[in-house]
Amino acid sequence: MTTQQPRVWFITGCSTGFGRALTQAVLERGEIVIATARQPDKLNDLIEQYRDRILSLSLDVTQSADIQMAVNQTIATFGRIDVLVNNAGYGVFGAVEEVSDTDVRRQFETNVYGALGVTRAVLPHLRRQRSGHILNISSSGGFIGFAGAGIYCASKFALEGWSEALAKEVAPLGIHVTIVEPGAFRTAFNGKLVSPTQAIDDYAATSGQMLQWLQQMNGQQPGDPHKAALAMIQVVNHSHPPLRLVLGADTLDAVHGKMEAFEADLAAWRDISINTAFEGAAVSAIGG
């Protein structure tokens, strides 16, 4: 998508990681960023450097009043939103049995309902414009379930589910949706994980190893957040952007591995799958 004027980006979770890297990369290209975060003071250096093209707002995506206030202020100031990036999120790790109900609910409040709330607040403006692009930051764990990351993966699977449906709903309105699936990138993510207070010994070889790997990888991840930001900008610039953008060779390999295993299961169980209809019933594709 191209416009005569600088695009207006609305990005959540901008204080660190992908949000921070993307905010800086967009500003360097002369565009406008509404940079939202729970701690917007961490953006003071960018505000000082790009004062006329950045609006820093305090936003907790779990608070609907905060969301509406931030969107309203953006429209009042700039009149439009061209790109929405739902980046705010975090990870709850541990075996499914180990994670507390409270941590499960908090994970979904941020990663699923938070992104959904921001999207629903922005959509009326994108529909009015008949243009726009939504980037929902998922994860390799939004496509593949990993031992020790079940709750986090569940939140990202949910994000991807409604994102994929939304893409079909808004495509006729000139609005694009892209799900971004990063692998291991050198952000603060691994250092801010929520893990169980009491581990179950029986899961030491599965979820326990995942937690150890995450700790060992902290600060050693191969992915460069700046390059990820440039890739996202490239997608937004493209006239035919993808529904999914995989970032990192690690994620690419893992996705191919899951798809190959899925294809093998489909082939092995094909006859069982198709012999479940009433005799003579017409069968059509779901949604067709």
Nearest to 131 by CA among 170, 164, 163: 170
| Average pLDDT, integer, range 247-262 | 97
Q: How far apart are CA 77 and CA 201, in angstroms?
A: 55
Q: What is the mean pLDDT of the chain?
A: 94
Residue 95 predicted with pLDDT over 50: yes
**235 found inside a domain:** yes
**47 found inside a domain:** yes
**277 found inside a domain:** no
Predicted pLDDT of residue 288? 59
Token output for 102: 């409270």
- Percent of the chain exceeding pLDDT 90 equals 85
pLDDT digits (tens, 9 = 90+) for 188-234: 787 777 888 889 999 999 999 999 999 888 878 888 999 999 999 99
**268 found inside a domain:** no
Predicted pLDDT of residue 221? 85
Please give the tally of structural domains in the chain.
1
pTM (two decimals):
0.94
**260 found inside a domain:** no
User: Could you tell me if 93 and 149 are in contact, meaning their C-beta atoms sit under 8 angstroms apart?
Assistant: yes
**271 found inside a domain:** no
Active site residues: 138, 152, 156
| Average pLDDT, integer, range 55-79 | 97
| Average pLDDT, integer, range 43-52 | 93
Residue 283 predicted with pLDDT over 90: no
DSSP 170: H
How many other C-beta atoms can be found within 10 angstroms of the C-beta atom of residue 258?
14
pLDDT digits (tens, 9 = 90+) for 124-170: 999 999 999 999 999 999 999 999 999 999 999 999 999 999 999 99
Predicted pLDDT of residue 218? 87
Give the burial class of 18: count Cβ atoms within 10 A of its Cβ; 0-12 exposed, 13-18 middle, 19 or more buried. Answer: buried
Backbone φ and ψ of 229, nearest 5°: -60, -45
| Average pLDDT, integer, range 2-9 | 79
CA distances, 288 to each of 58, 175, 243, 283 (Å): 43, 22, 20, 10
Range of the domain at 200: 8-253
Query: In the chain, what are the helix, strand and coil shares in percent, each to the nearest 5?
Result: 55, 15, 35
CATH number of the domain enclosing 30: 3.40.50.720
Indicate the range of 147-151, 173-177, 178-182, 280-284 predicted with least confidence. Answer: 280-284
User: Could you tell me if 122 and 173 are in contact, meaning their C-beta atoms sit under 8 angstroms apart?
Assistant: no
Token output for 69: 């206030």
**282 found inside a domain:** no
| Average pLDDT, integer, range 100-106 | 96
Which 3 state secondary structure label does DSSP give 217?
helix
Q: How far apart are CA 131 and CA 1, in angstroms?
A: 8
Predicted pLDDT of residue 31? 98
Which conformational region is residue 13 in: left (phi greater than 0), alpha (psi within -120 to 50 degrees), or beta?
Answer: left
User: Could you tell me if 122 and 167 are in contact, meaning their C-beta atoms sit under 8 angstroms apart?
Assistant: no
Which 3 state secondary structure label does DSSP give 166?
helix
Predicted pLDDT of residue 187? 86
Q: How far apart are CA 94 and CA 194, in angstroms?
A: 8
Question: Please, which pLDDT band fits residue 3 given cuts at 50, 70 and 90?
Answer: very low
Question: Please, which pLDDT band fits residue 276 given cuts at 50, 70 and 90?
Answer: very high
Instruction: Please measure the distance between the N-terminal and C-terminal CA atoms of the chain and give it in whole angstroms.
Output: 29
Supply angle C-alpha 103, 104, 106, rounded to 5: 65
Residue 177 predicted with pLDDT over 50: yes
Residue 19 predicted with pLDDT over 70: yes
**266 found inside a domain:** no
DSSP 148: T
